[in-house]
Chain A
């Protein structure tokens, strides 16, 4: 799982290197259908998202119909076929966070960034998503930026928090 987190930051790698890394993943998981979800996780970690070309490549390598792969990708909310910003803000909208005003924090973030939920800022700096409970309910409302959990976030803190990420 560590690897997944470390790889989200778009290293300046060549296409060949990225595909080389993908091949290693495919080898490791023996191109087995039952490993598809784990393979997609790793692929997303390598490429930052799941580009269509890459999914086609996986389909060929695994000898699965592309429609089947798309079916799986679209089913799970953590898979994304769109490129993400340099930083991903995940606002928890689980029960505990909602009760503690997470919706206000979310609106503030979106207002400040001038985007809608699920979008990426024009300068490619931030993407904003909502999550259903990140397991930090005792710290509600919680948001996670690039995997770091920030606790007891209030509307007034948003500006400062955003400034910390370039």
Chain B
């Protein structure tokens, strides 16, 4: 296919673009097959193969370009294909649907209604991407090309203005001007802390040292977030280009990308993209005939959440236990192997090329006064449209959950959103209108975090959620300092006591006190933020804690120790269904007679409750 050329000038970039366009002139249709990790687990590759076979059969192989793209974001309805230039979105596809798609859409030029997206709210099929609420309300800067271009085709990345930003930086801007531009854009780190990016870059630029490093943090530790992964898999060159610009700005010639081991596909695609960039001379020596030399190496983590913390990550890259270091010195002064190091998040890097190419003024127009640009969220939990969404910073939570996310399914009510993972907090339904930006969220005791946004419906117990996160931090505390190691365990024990109905009102006070102690005395961000889920649920859902303690009740019906299942005699028809599903055989009664649950034996699995057709079983 593409013969190798070393790209050395602007002309070379244009040539690649022209070559790409020429090569694709023959195609009447382009079919994008979403090949994000989610769609791959939905067997999109079988769909693609079937599509290929059908095109062959219809004799259209040379008129239709099949393109594997990264995640289009709408993970829940995969496998997905988009037919361009018509802009028609087909989803939940099966290989056997492909004959119909080829025959009716491509040959017959009609939309195959029954394969289009079904909008649950209106009950109607919505054929065009542009009309689907999930896409309509988003604004894509970082993910602009993800789900659109073939992630493995460097030519297509270049044909869509790729590597122009690094060219511009290298040939038209000094490193200081690059930093200045990023500063004017007001870009803040997307990895959780929200620290101004230009600030860090300037510090690293000014630091003394013959060797400097850039690190890309792709550890994505928040259990419930998958934005960074999607970007690496769907548009790896965008991340590479951002990393290069950072290198030029701070004076580094080497970058390490630290990827968590749980993301083999991201590693595979990023590795391939780096090799391609080297082949094109975009990585290596004298890039674009300038004095800029640069290379990128990938390091794989080994399953430790704390390694997402920058100094722990640096230890891990050095081959050590991933324990955080004392700050200062900050990485910008003494980071990897003691050298000045800039460390940024994947999504942060994804913003760099657009800023350099389109300018800080353009970027600063998006978002709020204090926080510019967009933020990518991973929507999951009790929500209809799970997936990846990118919206201007400051977009109200309601819009993200209801308009884009399609709301809470099964006619249940929205109870809260958990944002920022184990370091974050919750946003209750009273604050549904809150604009999602750094300052607002910090004010209510939550945080923007890296972008995990988990929607919780009315059947969620907030004490249980706090306990879930504490179990996580207890597991993940590196143990270096006592407030975190011992304190989080104590917090967990108190929560366990409360959810088991053994807590006292004093315990709630103790819980709160301990939270502040841990926050103030822990060495790193993990410990300092570990109490947040507890504090935040205490702040907004204290009554739930009190119910567990005072009334020995779990209002949401989740905490097993506080539950019992009872059969209502007057409603029970004696159909025996429940006694047949009970795994421990503790339901007795003869046919057509009211049944009874032996409470001493019942393990509260809820199977009978779910099975009874007469609403005769209640949960108390």
Contacts and interface: CB of A to CB of B under 8 A. Distances in A.
A139 B381 contact: no
Nearest to B222: A133
Interface string B366-380: 000000000000111
Interface residues of B, number: 59
Interface string A57-94: 00000000000000110011111000000000000011
B264 A37 contact: no
Interface in B419-469: 421, 452, 454, 456, 460, 465, 468-469
B299 A137 contact: no
Interface in B223-272: 223-226, 229, 261-264, 267-268, 271
Interface string B349-387: 000000000000000000000000000001111100011
A45 B299 CA distance: 16
Contacts of B418: 95
Given A38-B300, A96-B380, A133-B262, A138 B38 contact: yes
B37 A149 contact: yes
A136 B41 contact: yes
A99 interface: yes
Interface stretch (B45-53, B132-140, B203-211, B312-320): B312-320
A110 B75 CA distance: 29
B309 interface: no
Given A5-B264, A96-B381, A136-B38, A34 B224 contact: no
A9 B303 CA distance: 21
A134 interface: yes
Interface string A5-34: 100000000000000000000000000111
A54 interface: no
Nearest to B227: A135
Given A75-B304, A149-B37, A138 B75 contact: yes
B565 interface: no
B352 to A, nearest CB: 23
Nearest to A40: B302
Contacts of A32: 319
Nearest to A137: B380
A135 B305 contact: no
Contacts of A36: 319-320
A139 B41 CA distance: 9
B261 A78 contact: yes
Nearest to B302: A76
Contact of B224 (A40, A77, A94): A94
A140 interface: yes
A135 to B, nearest CB: 4
Contacts of A35: 319
A136 B226 contact: yes
A41 B261 contact: yes
B37 A135 contact: yes
B40 to A, nearest CB: 8
Contacts of A78: 261, 302-303
A2 interface: yes
Interface of A: 1-2, 4-5, 32-38, 40-41, 71-72, 75-79, 93-96, 98-100, 131-140, 142, 147-151
16 contacts: A2-B264, A2-B268, A5-B264, A34-B318, A37-B316, A96-B224, A99-B382, A131-B262, A132-B303, A135-B37, A135-B220, A136-B38, A136-B41, A137-B378, A137-B380, A138-B379
Interface of B: 37-38, 40-42, 75-76, 220-226, 229, 261-264, 267-268, 271, 299-305, 316-323, 337, 378-382, 386-388, 418, 421, 452, 454, 456, 460, 465, 468-469, 472, 475-476, 478
